[in-house]
Structure 1
Amino acid sequence: MSTEIKAPTFPESVADGSIATWHKQVGEAVSRDEPLVDIETDKVVLEVVAPGDGVLKEILKQEGDTVLSDEVVATFDEGGTASAAPASAEKSEAAETESANEPASGEIKASPAARKMIDEQGLDASQIPATGKGGLITKEDVANYKPAAAAAPAAKAAPAPAAPQVDVPAGERVEKRVPMTRLRARIAERLLDASQNTAMLTTFNEVNMKPVMELRKQYKDLFEKTHNGTRLGFMGLFVKAACEALKRFPSVNASIDDGDVVYHGYQDVGVAVSTEKGLVVPVLRDADGMSLAQIEDKVRDFGLRARDGKLGIDEMMGGTFTITNGGVFGSLISTPILNPPQTAILGMHKIQDRPMAVNGQVEILPMMYLALSYDHRLLDGKDAVQFLVVIKDLLEDPARILLEV
């Protein structure tokens, strides 16, 4: 039975997408829920999977082509079997390997294409699971193989494969031009829009993280045990502190829509997550009503799914305030850029021991710089500074977050 493979339904804010990668080729057998194609949009990479067991019959949209919402990109023969051509080719490839190599008893067998990939990547063929006939390692086996960490010394001991693949003459200045991905282009567009169309300023403060760190040290084991393995981090406390501060300063939680100011009676906090393809901002809906454990669990889930490209477009829509943490990469201080139409964004940074004056005495304390970038069209400096001071006070006395004082 022939089935149409369609692009996902895009929300109104996403006009179209483009074909990023086809994981299967025409005539290739596919299992149910196995990835067929990746479609890249302005916000996220979407994965289209097979509706059942069968064969990819025809590809209508090639890599790089633009696709619209619900547009047909391929046809799929559900219940069909792989075409004879690929099968015979694989059999011929296996036969060629056996006749060419005539491996001795116990020697590892691999197709020519697979052996070439093994040599180029410096892999240990004995560690690669073989799925081919008679224990033959196919090129798909090599492509799907992920070497364990223990294999690193072996790869290091054979530096030859790591040599540059391009022979560059001495003194040659090499350049490589690649098209910008849709996601990266959209990020650039939004950042440029924010810098050109908002009156953005940044105010700074610093917070003594010792109380939060002591709280975490005292309760992290009990917290993890009580909440089924959810770890107690810093982001949950920052989100809770931000929600309390947003309730006290509604204008920080507002947005500008043409000539109107929209005040939101809820706190949807976006948490910036870095991926290989770019920065994405999934949103914690109604963050004020979430427990600390729920926030920590959701943030961790966001990070894992962002890394694997599994976030949905709807999870990154909206948001009334954003938190970004450059400290995980070692940033000491920065000026985060607004995420329009939001009017403020909080920047966290690395925790660093510094000498501080406390009651006339010098103490070494773990300090973090905080940065709040805000749109001066809506927020006055007084409100922005006081908002940041509230977050500082709540974090330096975490009991106030629970007591809401």
Structure 2
Amino acid sequence: MTIAVPTMGESVAEGSIGTWHRKSGDAVKKDDLLVEIETDKVAVEIVAPADGVLEIVEAEGATVTPGQAIGRISGSGAAAAPAPAAAAAPVPAKAAAGDIPLSPSVQRIVAENNLDPKAIQGSGKDGRILKGDALEAAAAPAPAAPAAATPAAAPVAASAPRETGPRENRVKMTRLRQTIARRLKESQNSAAQLTTFNEVDMTNVMALRSQYKEVFEKRHGVKLGFMSFFTRAVVAALQEIPAVNAEIDGTDIIYKNHYDIGVAVGTEKGLVVPVLRDADTLSLAGIEKGIAALGKAARDGDLTLDQLQGGTFTITNGGTYGSLMSTPILNAPQSGILGMHNIVQRPMAVNGQVVIRPMMYLALSYDHRIVDGKEAVTFLVRIKELLEDPARALLDL
């Protein structure tokens, strides 16, 4: 029985083999976890389709496409024996990179940058051009014009990975980590990013949460956290300042009248941003339940592509790890991201008196191409007002 790569979503044309949890020749049971396929967005678990003995066809790190066989299950109780050696036959020449079909993502990069596929050195199986190969070719400087004749010089070899020291360990980046790195850099390069700061007195929110947290949990079966208050405040501010909920598409601006809030979640494999849909229609309990479910799915590796796409604005909480202040990077193509931080008891001047208050710094990073400074500051001040006086949200003030 063949173990094949499943379809991983319309926008996912390839993936790479992660760690095999079993070895060739191991006896496996149906539904045993065998391996994960790492894609640009999610990791897809592959389980044994039946009882039998595993034969691995594609090794760890190999690039694979939907439908490709990566292993087999033999029901005979022994791994499939290698086929007897045939009479020596001519070995077919390795296909040139230009003869191998390009994946949709590679085709797009080649077309957008006017690249010649035959000039790109493919690093995939049989010389297949991977997305990273195309991006590297697109970023390479154009060849210089021929210079006047000069004394012959030795050819310059391509830069090789540096040697690791005795107390260093080289580990290949996972596909997810490569995607995170690429997307963050693309976001930095494509948007006019700017960050504005403010601070919020969390006294009233903390008092409200302390007063009702027990009855809230008994009633709704979920704890009352800070994220529901922040999400509610963000939605209200987005409705007032629609540019922060919009995106640029070429020379157009797309204003969105839906509020799908991305919530950054740190996992063992890296940062992912699942999306809480229609946050404007949810109660505080609905927001808490939705965020809790997305966080669990992220940590368990059960997020689907649909849960990771289509957000209109993002909230990230560095305070979970003790961050006092940061400048979050935009989650392209979104135009805004709110950074929450650690709550710290600080002396504050209130009505001419010095009092100790639980304070949090807020950071709004925004795309200055679409969001003006006045709008960004107004947006952040609006969030501050709604958090310092939670009754405003209930009274729609």
Paired with 2:262 and 2:53, the residues of 1 have a C-alpha distance of: 39
Matched with 2:366 is 374
Paired with 1:305 and 1:19, the residues of 2 have a C-alpha distance of: 21
Matched with 1:150 is none
Paired with 2:319 and 2:65, the residues of 1 have a C-alpha distance of: 38
1:309 matches 2:307: no
List gaps (5 residues or longer) in structure 1.
86-171
Paired with 2:320 and 2:259, the residues of 1 have a C-alpha distance of: 24
* Residue 403 of structure 1: how far off its partner (Å): 2.5
Query: Map of 1:184-223 to 2, 5 A cutoff?
Result: 184-223=177-216
Q: 1:233 aligns with which of 221, 225, 241?
A: 225
Paired with 1:71 and 1:394, the residues of 2 have a C-alpha distance of: 53
Matched with 2:380 is 388
Q: 1:83 aligns with which of 78, 103, 113?
A: 78
* Residue 265 of structure 1: how far off its partner (Å): 1.2
Paired with 1:68 and 1:57, the residues of 2 have a C-alpha distance of: 20
Q: 2:264 aligns with which of 252, 269, 272?
A: 272
SS in 2 for 1:46: strand
The letter of the residue matching 1:267 is Y
Contact 2:55 2:79 in 1 (8 A): no
* Residue 311 of structure 1: how far off its partner (Å): 1.7
The letter of the residue matching 1:73 is I
Relative to structure 1, the CA distance from residue 310 to residue 56 in structure 2 (aligned partners, 3 Å threshold; closer, same or farther) is farther
Relative to structure 1, the CA distance from residue 81 to residue 218 in structure 2 (aligned partners, 3 Å threshold; closer, same or farther) is farther
Deviates more, 1:241-250 or 1:380-389: 241-250
Deviations 1:271-324 (CA, angstroms, capped at 9, x unpaired): 000112111000001111122112212222222222222222221112000000
List gaps (5 residues or longer) in structure 2.
81-164
Q: Percent identity?
A: 59
Paired with 1:391 and 1:6, the residues of 2 have a C-alpha distance of: 49
Paired with 2:32 and 2:259, the residues of 1 have a C-alpha distance of: 37
Contact 1:326 1:349 in 2 (8 A): yes
Query: Map of 1:46-125 to 2, 5 A cutoff?
Result: 46-51=44-49, 53-77=50-74, 80=75, 82-83=77-78
Q: 1:45 aligns with which of 20, 43, 46?
A: 43
Relative to structure 1, the CA distance from residue 23 to residue 323 in structure 2 (aligned partners, 3 Å threshold; closer, same or farther) is same
Deviates more, 1:247-256 or 1:13-22: 13-22
Deviations 1:3-50 (CA, angstroms, capped at 9, x unpaired): x32223223433311000112333433333321211111222221223
SS in 1 for 2:298: helix
Q: What is the CA RMSD across the aligned residues, in angstroms?
A: 1.8
Query: Map of 1:233-382 to 2, 5 A cutoff?
Result: 233-382=225-374
SS in 2 for 1:331: coil
Contact 1:328 1:349 in 2 (8 A): yes
Contact 2:57 2:70 in 1 (8 A): yes
TM-score (norm. length: structure 2):
0.75
Q: 1:29 aligns with which of 27, 35, 43?
A: 27
Paired with 1:201 and 1:271, the residues of 2 have a C-alpha distance of: 20
Paired with 1:5 and 1:257, the residues of 2 have a C-alpha distance of: 41
Deviations 1:176-233 (CA, angstroms, capped at 9, x unpaired): 22212111111111111111111000000011101110011001000110012x1110
TM-score (norm. length: structure 1):
0.74
SS in 2 for 1:21: coil
Deviations 1:225-260 (CA, angstroms, capped at 9, x unpaired): 0012x1110011111111111111111111111221
Relative to structure 1, the CA distance from residue 388 to residue 75 in structure 2 (aligned partners, 3 Å threshold; closer, same or farther) is same
Paired with 1:6 and 1:248, the residues of 2 have a C-alpha distance of: 49
Relative to structure 1, the CA distance from residue 378 to residue 18 in structure 2 (aligned partners, 3 Å threshold; closer, same or farther) is same
SS in 1 for 2:334: coil
Relative to structure 1, the CA distance from residue 5 to residue 403 in structure 2 (aligned partners, 3 Å threshold; closer, same or farther) is farther
Relative to structure 1, the CA distance from residue 25 to residue 82 in structure 2 (aligned partners, 3 Å threshold; closer, same or farther) is farther
Contact 1:336 1:371 in 2 (8 A): yes
* Aligned positions, number: 313
Matched with 2:87 is none
SS in 2 for 1:385: helix
Paired with 1:317 and 1:344, the residues of 2 have a C-alpha distance of: 16
